[in-house]
Structure 1
Amino acid sequence: MPIDFSSVPFEIDRGWPIVIPGSTVVACEAGILLGSILLSDQSWASFPGRGILSLRIDETPPPSNGFVVPTSPIHVPDSALANNAAFCDWVLDTHGGIGRLLLWDEETDWWLVNDADLELALICSQLSRFSTEFEECGDRPFEWVDKDFWTDAGIRTVQALAQRYALNWNP
């Protein structure tokens, strides 16, 4: 079943959202499972009650083993927004463990993309919204990239993302 992008408030171009005007993008390391997003306690604490939505935006077809991946945005329950572990468990049960997940809130003033293959969380927002992440990751995008471990295709993808989002990464 195709993904329903009509209710996504951000334009998706070649599998990735377009930058929100007036916002900045930062690349942060994430875990190897979809939903393992290594955010600060301050960021996790700001999520409950904000109406966070999620949608897998990768091109991976949903598994055929009876697990049904949502193809339109769904609300993340506040109980799943307590911390990384709670969120990762919810994502595994709802969206699966692989792919690319887009998150945003009802105000649509930020988005976050988690890509499990790249162990990546891209955050697009005003600097003040995710201040800890911008401070910790802003000067060292993709520092976790290990050229000996990653495939050439993975390195090319990261280079393209660095260029697309002006992340000043040069391997």
Structure 2
Amino acid sequence: MSAPEIIRSDLAAGAKTRFTVVLGDITRLPVDAIVNAANSSLLGGGGVDGAIHRAAGPDLVAECRTLNGCKTGQAKMTGGYRLPAKHVIHTVGPVWNGGDHGEEALLAGCYRNSLGLARRHGLGTVAFPAISTGIYRFPAAPAAEIAIGTALAESKDGAFDEIIFCCFGDEMAALYDRLLPQALAGA
């Protein structure tokens, strides 16, 4: 896949944080941290998790082995190794089970806890994939609304220069492109 393409980049009224939607491969973004939609072992898997592990190289899995996994909704951080990103924030999204098992709160926790780690480490640019929307089957529209809403709430203090929503496919990019201006207008 070619270099990520910027679809939209906006600020909320009076906000300091830029929100950007890009279409492309998250492993190619030169940011302070990319977020990995990991499984609970943190040792690699399919989708974005596998892509990040392949691009970062074997040192990433070696560091992940020292972290003793991660619970759903929580986040842990490692180095970026061979990635252009300095760090990888690993978060475990919920598997969609119909929406009556706390999935929305757990997904919001992924974004909140990832941004909390980034804030504590002074990281200004953070890129997220569409957590849980692949093999974990979280419906795309509510997942995007949770991602955008939580990122807006967590960035009100101006701790971040830019939060990026990196979409791998055209449909997800179009969804974020539609939802982001609505959320920024209401912020």
- Could you say which TM-score interval applies, normalised by the shorter chain? 0.3 to 0.5
TM-score when normalising by structure 2 = 0.34
Larger helix percent: 2
TM-score when normalising by structure 1 = 0.36
